[in-house]
Amino acid sequence: MAQVQDEPDQTLVSGLGQLVSLGNVLLEKAKQEAEESLESFVPNKITTLFGLITAGATLYKSLGVTKKTEAEAIWQKSYHHAAVKEQVDELLQLETNWDSFLDGVDAGLRTVDGQPAGKTTDRLSPDNTFTDARSGKSVTLGQFLDQGQKLLLVLIRHFG
């Protein structure tokens, strides 16, 4: 039987609802972890964001899209339905809440003069020092480059 024109796509409503619910749970967990120790949150607990990335990917897969703009196009077509409008509005609020939380983390990690704690650089060289996420040891970029392997450097700042 064909879907009635006046009913929203339940895959869309359900997928958005699951993303919002999980996103809120992960945000509360991240807030608790950051409250315990902001200094250990970033290097050790930021993996909480991976759950949010996975939830977003699950939504995209259920909608048959690969980009946020494609997902937005789908829910814009159904935005006139109260259930879709409610879930989209909750998702937008969740994005705002995550942005606010991450801005607070950034602010909490800044020094008295307003500059980021730790070193910053305008360019990378083989002498730049990093922390190996697997071992916790201090390494230089050159040590990775000299291994003859392809290097993927991942910097995560925002999902949304």
Mean pLDDT in order along the chain per 10 residues (160 residues): 60 94 93 85 74 89 92 93 95 94 82 56 73 77 72 50
What is the per-residue burial (b if ≥16 Cβ within 10 Å, else e) of 70-99?
A: ebeebbeebeebebbeebbebbeebeeebe
Give one DSSP letter per residue of 128-141, joined into a string: -EEE-TTT--EEEH
97: containing domain: 10-109
Structure confidence at residue 34 (pLDDT): 87
Structure confidence at residue 138 (pLDDT): 85
Domain ends where: 73, 90, 109?
A: 109
Number of folded domains that form the chain: 2
Cα angle value 71/12/70 (rounded, 5°): 10
Structure confidence at residue 111 (pLDDT): 54
Structure confidence at residue 19 (pLDDT): 95
Residue 3 in any domain: the answer is no
Same domain, 104 and 123: no
Same domain, 24 and 58: yes
Same domain, 25 and 103: yes
Same domain, 94 and 124: no
User: Residue 68, Cβ neighbours under 10 Å: how many?
Assistant: 13
Structure confidence at residue 117 (pLDDT): 54
